């Protein structure tokens, strides 16, 4: 029960961080900040690492199969788009 509560709060915190980072990135792009390219990679890296952590913490045993099916569907869709099969 404790892990579910931690996962729930971590997910909420991640959503808030993602929204704030999105707003900051939009503001920097709008103002044409010369350091925008340097920040873009760091924001992506932070969101990727936080997403992996949240995914590992919040997926329960009952959710493993639907998660894997969704991941496979996403990979097939991306491969189809990459090779122009859409």
* Domain range annotation of the chain: 2-60
How many other CB atoms are there within 10 angstroms of residue 55's CB atom?
Answer: 13
Indicate yes or no: pTM above 0.75.
no
User: pLDDT for 9-55, tens place per residue?
Assistant: 888 888 888 888 888 877 777 776 666 566 667 777 888 888 888 87
d(CA 23, CA 63): 31
Helix orientation angle between 2-30 and 36-58, rounded to the nearest 10 degrees: 160
pLDDT at residue 7 in the model: 76
Contacts for 79 with CB less than 8 Å, ≥ 6 apart: 85
Query: DSSP H helical segments within 1-86, as ranges?
Result: 2-30, 36-58, 64-82
């Amino acid at each position: 029960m404790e892990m579910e509560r931690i996962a729930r709060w971590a997910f909420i915190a991640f959503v808030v961080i993602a929204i704030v980072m999105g707003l900051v990135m939009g503001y920097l792009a709008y103002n044409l900040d010369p350091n925008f390219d340097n920040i873009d990679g760091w924001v992506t890296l932070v969101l990727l690492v936080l997403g992996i952590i949240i995914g590992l913490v919040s997926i329960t045993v009952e959710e493993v199969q639907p998660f894997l099916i969704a991941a496979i569907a996403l990979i097939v869709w991306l491969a189809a788009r990459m090779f122009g099969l859409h």
